[in-house]
Amino acid sequence: MKVLIADDHALFRDALGKLVEELDGSASVIQVSSYAQALKILKNEPNIDMVIVDLEMQDLPSWEKGLDELKYAGNGAKLVVVSAVENPRNIRNVLERGANGYISKRSESKILLNALKLVLDGGTYIPPVLLLPNNAVPERNSVKNLTNRQSQVLGLVAQGLSNKQIAYEMGVSEATVKLHINALLRSVGANNRTQAVITAQKMGII
């Protein structure tokens, strides 16, 4: 696996690089400190699997143009934005522009690691701040009791595991995992996996 990290903070790049190596011991990590360097690497380095970029770099023309050019130059590479900015509108715009994930720099290393795993497995990481904007949570007594299997699935989803990873952990098929997740979403009144976790946490289920 080949990963490009573009961020103008060396300490953060180094820490992120170590997390990527923890994710895959054979990973090749390329670090750059500017948008121009990132574009140059993408145009000259073949087979980049993932680009992790901070859209606050000084030489970025605009986040829209920067994101478009990085995606084009990346030629199919997963694109993950890391940022200290947690404005829901910014996050939504970045995801709608085609990013595969938006991770807050304030996230714990475990969350960041699981978010990267999810993206590599074909998912999209949506940060909790984008969900439940009014902190609206269903009443506890309106939620059905979760089965043991649903509770187990919920715990694994909370760790950021993909359906494939959950299936492996539980020793069941991906189809079975999907059934449990659909039932789980109905039980907590959520529309997606991340919202289910946030709702369950607010309700004290996990």
Q: For 4, list phi and psi in degrees, rounded to 5.
A: -105, 125
Domains of the chain, CATH where assigned: 2-128 (3.40.50.2300), 140-202 (1.10.10.10)
Eight-class DSSP state of 147? P
Q: Which residue has the tokens 């659909």?
A: 182
Q: Which of 128, 118, 151, 137 is nearest to 199 (CA)?
A: 137
Provide the sign of the torsion angle of the four alpha carbons 97, 100, 157, 184, taken in this order.
positive
Largest interatomic CA distance in the chain: 57
The pLDDT tens digits along the chain (206 residues) read: 999 999 999 999 999 999 999 888 888 999 999 999 999 999 998 889 999 999 888 898 888 889 999 999 998 899 999 998 888 888 888 888 889 889 988 888 888 888 898 888 887 888 877 654 444 444 444 444 677 788 888 888 887 788 888 888 888 888 888 888 888 888 777 888 877 877 776 666 66
